[in-house]
Amino acid sequence: MIRKELVAASAEPLILSLLSKGESYGYAIIQEVKARSGGKLQWTDGMLYPVLHRMESRGLIKSRWGESETGRKRKYYSLKKDGKTAMARHQEQWSLIHSVLAGLQKGQFV
Amino acid sequence: MIRKELVAASAEPLILSLLSKGESYGYAIIQEVKARSGGKLQWTDGMLYPVLHRMESRGLIKSRWGESETGRKRKYYSLKKDGKTAMARHQEQWSLIHSVLAGLQKGQFV
DNA sequence: CACGATACATAGAGTCGTTATGTATGTCAA
DNA sequence: TTGACATACATAACGACTCTATGTATCGTG
């Protein structure tokens, strides 16, 4: 089980990166994150949907209602311009923390 | 300014890694994190002290009151056994998220 | 002697994941 | 046909956590 704080910190960067490869919808995002993490990241829908709603209200992503081949309704999300900017910022910040942590483990400064 | 969620997720791993190099105290931890991040990570004491208290109550670290050369009181923290275990777990989880993110970003340019 | 740096502590407000619950449809086997 | 399971979205209550503000106290320096 991944720590709650780490889930919170990684959710938005992961969603943005996923959507940068093309539009997707909630359920599929959960499946893809699980697959890409070897089953270790198991997001719940109760966690994901509020995140998507917040990101949409902040203008990072936009949504449209669509249908699957079988006629089931889906809400497809895609990146907006601000979302791409946010994604770049996230990557910078992750790199920073990661290098500080790596430096500590090796006894080096950034 | 680093995102709040990322601060929350990185605080405990950073503190554990710092203390694994030797005991330290609140104020010095803030300074060292700032130095090691090139000034980009600026923790506040209002954020750090509760984190230290929680980590101590969970048995990850222990504290002792000491004095500086000038006689000022300091609360020195050091790693306990559980803290070393927790540090290893944090490193695993960070590596996982980092590799998933890296995989997504790499695929984005293919 | 005033000011900034050092040093620790806590309360209130706001945010976020977790867990639980609700609604609804499609697939497949007994 | 019926039951179980996967698909698909949504929200509320709860607890945990950071941020901001505030308080206390000491030390060095001009």
Residue pLDDT, tens place only, A81-91: 999 999 999 99
Q: How far apart are CA A39 and CA A61, in angstroms?
A: 26
Structural domains for chain A: 4-106 (1.10.10.10)
Nucleotide nearest to A51 (CA to C1'): C16
Residue among A3, A51, A92, A95 with most chain B CBs within 10 A, to mutate: A3
- Helix, strand, or coil (residue A3): coil
Residue B109, pLDDT score:
43
Q: How far is CA B76 from CA B27, B67, B101, in A?
A: 10, 9, 36
Residue pLDDT, tens place only, A21-79: 999 999 999 999 999 999 999 999 999 999 999 999 999 999 999 988 787 899 999 99
Residue whose CA is minimally distant from C19 C1'? A46
The pLDDT of residue B48 is above 70: yes
The nearest CA of chain B is from the CA of A47 a distance in Å of 14
Instruction: With CB atoms and an 8 Å threshold, state whether B105 touches A17.
Output: yes
Asked if A81 CB < 7 A from strand C, the reply is no
Residue A109, pLDDT score:
60
- Provide the residue count of chain A: 110
Cα of first residue to Cα of last residue in chain B, in angstroms, is 31
Contact A104, B14 (CB under 8 A): yes
Mean per-residue pLDDT over chain B, rounded: 90
Q: How far apart are CA B90 and CA A5, in angstroms?
A: 11
Question: Which chain B residue shows the shortest CA-CA distance from A35?
Answer: B100
Residue B110, pLDDT score:
38
Instruction: Give the one of A2, A17, A100 whose C-beta lies nearest to B108's C-beta.
Output: A17
Predicted TM-score (pTM) of the model is: 0.90
Q: How far apart are CA A101 and CA A57, in angstroms?
A: 33
What mean pLDDT is predicted for residues B79-97? 93
Tell me the torsion sign for CA atoms A81, B102, B19, A105: negative
Asked if A51 CB < 7 A from strand C, the reply is yes
Q: Which residue has the higher pLDDT, B70 or B45?
A: B45
Burial class (CB in 10 A: 0-12, 13-18, 19+), A56: middle
